[in-house]
Structure 1
């Protein structure tokens, strides 16, 4: 892609997210979401591959549907209450429609069907943007709208997402689909406490972005998109392959890695609020996600490629791009747990 075009598209992504962050009016927030959508579509389709075009079309139709629902909800609320302010979404029907539309935008279950298919059809770099940056603007709106939402709606979306994210990833061999279902499961954890403790949702979102960025950049470095190719990843980057196991276990939420921090704090918050059954259910669903992370870890470290490579082995290839982002997110994804007291003091 032309560097000037790429620069314009990346600046448009930043503009759309910033506009949504800074807006208090529904129309400005909708405009920011639309700029975000239109900016990432050329990045998704620039391969000119039929699968990429199909994924782009699915993404566009889904996002357009969600944007229309957001406009309908905000207009309905303005008609009933006379308020266009985002935090004044007091009409129950309008609030439910808005939450459903935002859930469709980020891929919460049961509106998640587009996410695995779209991620499967695009490159790992674009998938990284779709899984991290594109979640920021809708989450900013969810945190503002959650105060007026029905708590049962958010809880149902959260439990459904953790269940679907766990079950859906069990039988996958495509790594991008595994990361898509991982995204669905993590989003469920975030939504669960959006009404009780928004700061915990923000912490979980930041931690998820760091861990997912580390996973996507690692897969791009070792050039793996299927489980079967993970077996030969150690020949390309031995040290990174060892660290990749820690990244996957961190995504699963195992101590003493970074991913344990948000899950621990969210479970503690839900128990303190008097919902022990909900805490038990989502803790059990985390085991489903942990299983397929362990399966990937096993494939990466304890197996060999099941076929004979006739060509020369890819042995410790030179880095083709900057490795500082990869090194930074790998370090953050594995070693932030000791900073939990400082994070709690910062969020308090």
Structure 2
């Protein structure tokens, strides 16, 4: 594991995320590039996890406080904001994505496990409750979670990666409820139903809208904990050759020569959860070619062209590297 980022490396990476944070607490996508002003609730939470993991505790708290302040009455958030010239986020897409809504529970649980500050968790608990209640309200008879809600109503299927991630969010939320003395057994039941749907029919188009070209669809059932044991190992082994590019990372999609840092580190987290630590460490080491001299990370690399693409150093990619490294450090 000597090729993993050092403690100083991680601190510098966290500093680049903190430097990108707006005064209101929102964390945009990009350190410097084409998507510099974009903010979405999922990647904002990922960035907050990267902040607290590198010692930027006040900045992480500010990120959750801001998210709580802009939560809608139904418990959700817009899909996307964009920072205006004054640094204030303005809604660009006011749709509802259930995975973007539920992920706050993962972040708050991570903050609690990292810091042990129950007062902060209690402050954000109403935000988590509203978000996960909004998610559970969109659970389908199949057990999947409808992935989006628009003017025509809710989707009639889930996304495999999104539902698997919500499995994790619901279990984290239930664990937070136990910690603050407000148990939520219904969330665990909803998570159990997702796990059953993932185990029984991950490729059933009546349950999950198929997206097999995306690596996230491959490993997220493991990353989100919906699959464990032999089934989880078999799933990762089944498409390893389709996505893993030795020495560079993993492809975002199976039909393009493009490796991405966040997906690579998420796969490393999945492997770590299964005890496959050597493979995980190798993947995190492999994506260090995406590290910029300031400690931030480029989103991806098109290897036939020897080109960084897109032209962005994304805060959430940096956070994913931090989280995967921390997991390997136990």
Q: TM-score range by the shorter chain?
A: 0.3 to 0.5
Greater helix fraction, Structure 1 or Structure 2: 1
Greater strand fraction, Structure 1 or Structure 2: 2
Q: Which has the higher contact order (CA 8 A, sep 6+)?
A: 2
* TM-score normalized with structure 1 length: 0.33
* TM-score normalized with structure 2 length: 0.35
